[in-house]
């Protein structure tokens, strides 16, 4: 005698007629846009990077990997790598810990904390160009705030972006002001998602405030912190418009980034082949870091999410 449930079949396994057609109709526009706006530019840039090309007509002067060899042999481009690494280190050591500490403070029942959250998040709403223009005005000579910040950085007012010894730190200050609120809100949202019972249990067991933060709060904030680090690194690699408006990469390349160098050669000197090689290097660096970070750092978070989903299912 057949089992009564076996003849009925499992629900949800049968595909409706036209299911594949509906799926294709829904995915085709997105896939076409992805191929047109993402894949095609990468392929074109990769092809152009193998040629000595001024951007007019079709690339014909094939030079192989000479543009890449030139890039890594160029002191300016090697300086771009070093300056980008320095900005990343400053962000990981100063900006993100400060945002985390302030997020923990704003989680407390402070009077007017909603206003504080709005004040710290407001700069993120501004565009990079608007932020750069604003700080250009702030650091203009004979302005009180600019004078005070310039003295703190050890430079004269109006010269903080003109001094090779201070310009990169000034750029970091502006970048931090712009994106500080984003990281703060990420940490604050994650902190609010931690159940109060965990901290109450830790307090009951005799843990101090620091011990509760170290052994309860910080591990549970780990996934958010790792995402914040990822966004900070990728954003630094692609940093362009804010630096371009603030300093144009100067003085004497002291604040130049890879994106600024790419723009300078591509649109200033019409060496589009060489600029394309720089863009491919930026793409490869971002891709390698993203894959490595996903594989090594975010893997545990992904596996945990899938495990929890399986348990709930």
pLDDT of residue 1: 45
| Radius of gyration, CA atoms only, the chain | 25
The H or E element that residue 81 is part of is helix 75-90
Average pLDDT, integer, range 73-77:
94
pLDDT of residue 166: 84
pLDDT by residue (tens digit) across 226-260? 999 999 999 999 999 999 999 999 888 999 999 99
pLDDT of residue 152: 66
Please tell me which residue, 77 or 157, carries the higher pLDDT value. 77
The residue behind tokens 């997105």 is 30
Does residue 4 carry a pLDDT above 60?
no
- CA 207 to chain centroid, in Å, comes to 36
Angle formed by the axes of helices 167-192 and 128-138, nearest 10°:
130
State how far the Cα of 205 lies from the Cα of 211, in Å rounded to an integer.
11
Percent of the chain predicted with pLDDT > 90: 53
State how far the Cα of 260 lies from the Cα of 237, in Å rounded to an integer.
11
Instruction: Indicate the average pLDDT of the chain.
Output: 85
CA distances from 274 to 39, 75, 267 (A): 20, 15, 11
pLDDT of residue 294: 86
Write down the CATH number for the domain with range 94-256: 1.10.3720.10
DSSP state of 16: P
CA distances from 280 to 120, 244, 274 (A): 35, 20, 10
CA distances from 121 to 142, 176, 178, 197 (A): 28, 12, 9, 29
Domain definitions of the chain by residue range: 40-73+258-298, 94-256
3-state class (DSSP) for residue 165? coil
Those residues with Cβ within 8 angstroms of residue 162's Cβ, 6 or more apart along the chain or in another chain: 250, 251
pLDDT by residue (tens digit) across 134-145? 888 877 766 556
pLDDT of residue 86: 95
pLDDT of residue 306: 47
- ∠ CA(296), CA(299), CA(304), 5° rounding? 150
| Number of neighbouring beta carbons within 10 Å of residue 260 | 23
Local confidence band at 84 (pLDDT 50, 70, 90 cut-offs): very high
pLDDT of residue 87: 95
pLDDT of residue 257: 94
The alpha carbon dihedral of 50, 56, 61, 63 has a sign of negative
State how far the Cα of 303 lies from the Cα of 13, in Å rounded to an integer.
25
State how far the Cα of 56 lies from the Cα of 127, in Å rounded to an integer.
32
pLDDT of residue 138: 79
DSSP states of 179-216: HHHHHHHHHHHHHHTS-HHHHHHHHHTT--HHHHIIII
Tokens at 106, concatenated: 């704003």
pLDDT by residue (tens digit) across 179-223? 999 999 999 999 999 988 888 888 888 888 888 888 889 999 999
Burial class (CB in 10 A: 0-12, 13-18, 19+), 58: exposed
| Number of neighbouring beta carbons within 10 Å of residue 120 | 21
Alpha helices in 126-257 (DSSP H): 128-138, 144-152, 167-192, 196-204, 209-212, 218-220, 222-237, 241-246
pLDDT of residue 303: 61
- ∠ CA(81), CA(243), CA(136), 5° rounding? 150
């Amino acid at each position: 005698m057949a089992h009564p449930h076996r003849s009925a079949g499992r629900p949800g396994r049968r595909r409706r007629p036209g299911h594949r057609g509906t799926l294709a109709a829904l995915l085709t526009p997105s896939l076409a846009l992805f191929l047109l706006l993402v894949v095609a530019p990468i392929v074109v840039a990769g092809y152009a990077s193998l040629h000595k090309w001024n951007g007019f007509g079709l690339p014909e002067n094939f030079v192989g990997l000479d543009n890449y060899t030139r890039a890594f042999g160029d002191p300016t481009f090697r300086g771009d790598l070093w300056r980008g690494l320095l900005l990343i280190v400053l962000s990981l050591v100063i900006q993100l810990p400060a945002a985390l500490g302030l997020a923990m403070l704003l989680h407390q029942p402070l009077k007017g904390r909603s206003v504080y959250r709005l004040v710290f998040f407001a700069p993120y709403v501004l565009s990079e160009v608007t932020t750069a223009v604003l700080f250009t005005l702030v650091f203009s000579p004979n302005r009180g705030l600019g004078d005070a910040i310039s003295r703190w950085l050890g430079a004269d007012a109006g010269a903080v972006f003109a001094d090779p010894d201070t310009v990169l730190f000034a750029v970091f200050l502006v970048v931090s002001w712009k994106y500080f609120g984003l990281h703060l809100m990420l940490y604050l949202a994650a902190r609010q998602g931690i159940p109060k019972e965990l901290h109450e249990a830790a307090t009951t067991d005799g843990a101090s405030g620091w011990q509760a933060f170290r052994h309860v709060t910080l591990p549970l904030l780990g996934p958010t912190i790792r995402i914040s680090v990822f966004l900070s690194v990728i954003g630094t690699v692609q940093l362009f418009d804010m630096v371009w408006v603030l300093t144009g990469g100067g003085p004497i390349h002291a604040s130049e980034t890879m994106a600024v160098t790419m723009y300078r050669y591509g649109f200033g000197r019409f060496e589009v082949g060489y600029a394309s090689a720089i863009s491919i290097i930026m793409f490869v660096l971002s891709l390698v870091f993203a894959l490595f970070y996903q594989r090594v750092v975010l893997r545990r978070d992904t596996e945990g999410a899938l495990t929890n989903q399986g348990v709930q299912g």
